[in-house]
Amino acid sequence: GAVVSQHPSWVICKSGTSVKIECRSLDFQATTMFWYRQFPKQSLMLMATSNEGSKATYEQGVEKDKFLINHASLTLSTLTVTSAHPEDSSFYICRVFPGGRSRPSSYEQYFGPGTRLTVT
Amino acid sequence: AQKITQTQPGMFVQEKEAVTLDCTYDTSDQSYGLFWYKQPSSGEMIFLIYQGSYDEQNATEGRYSLNFQKARKSANLVISASQLGDSAMYFCAMREGTSYGKLTFGQGTILTVHP
C-alpha cells in the first residue's frame, strides 16, 4: 500500500487565493520531508527541506513567504502556496525521509503521488 | 556546474530490445549514492535501482541494471527486453555524502517504446 499520501491530488484555484497541500507519511515517522516542484517534461526542482519542529530550509530562489512550509508532526508536512498566480501552476511532489541508519537505498523511494496545481 | 547530467532528452527503442539511458555526475565526495527513477504520465516517482559509491559490483534489479563506471563518473541505466509499459520519463539522481537524504536530479530522459 501507499507509504506517502498527498492531498489534494489536483486542485484548480483562482489567482490571488491560497492553496494548501498536505503530505502525510503513513508507515513511519518522517523526521525530514522534501518538497519539489516540476514543470511539464522537466526535472524535479527541490524547493525546501522541512524538519519536524523546526523552520524549513529553502533553496536559493524560492520565496519563503510565498511557499509556506509547516512540518508540525512526524507524519505531516504542509505546503501553502500563498496568493497563487498562473506561474505557480505546476506539479508539486513531496518526499519523506525517516532518517536513521538503514540500507541507504530504502529511504530514497518514498515519494508522494504529487499534486497538480492549476491557477486560473 | 550541473551535478547530474542526462544528455538524452528523448530515446526510442523497439519492444523487446535493450536500451541504455546515460547519466554522468559530478561530486567531490567519496561517499555518494546514485539512483534511477521512472516517472510515468501519472506523475508518480517509481524507484528502480540504486548504486553506492563503494559498491564494487554493478547493481541489478530484474530487467534493470546500472552500468557504474566510477572513474568516468557515469551511471547509465540499462533496460533489457523493453516493454511498452516502460515508456515514461526516467531520472537519474544523486545523494552526496554530506547532504543527509537530499537528492539532486538530472534533467530526465523520455523513453518511448515502439511495438
Give the mean pLDDT per block of 10 residues along chain A (120 residues). 88 97 89 93 94 89 94 91 97 85 60 96
What is the arithmetic mean of pLDDT over B89-100? 84
Check CB contact of A51 with chain B, cutoff 8 Å: no
- The residue length of chain B stands at 115
For residue A105, the chain B residues in CB contact (below 8 A) are 33, 35, 47, 50, 52
Contact A111 B45 (CB under 8 A): yes
Residue B10 scores a pLDDT above 60: yes
For residue B55, the chain A residues in CB contact (below 8 A) are none
Predicted confidence band of residue B69 (pLDDT cuts 50, 70, 90): very high
φ, ψ at B112 (rounded to 5°): -120, 125
* Per-residue confidence (pLDDT) for residue B98, from 0 to 100: 58
Buried b (16+ CB within 10 A) or exposed e, A7-26: eeeebebeeeeebebbbbbe
CB A94 within 8 A of CB B96: no
Rounded Cα–Cα distance for residues B79 and B86 (Å): 9
For residue A108, the chain B residues in CB contact (below 8 A) are 33, 35, 47, 50, 93, 95, 101, 103
SS3 label, residue A41: coil
What is the arithmetic mean of pLDDT over B86-114? 91
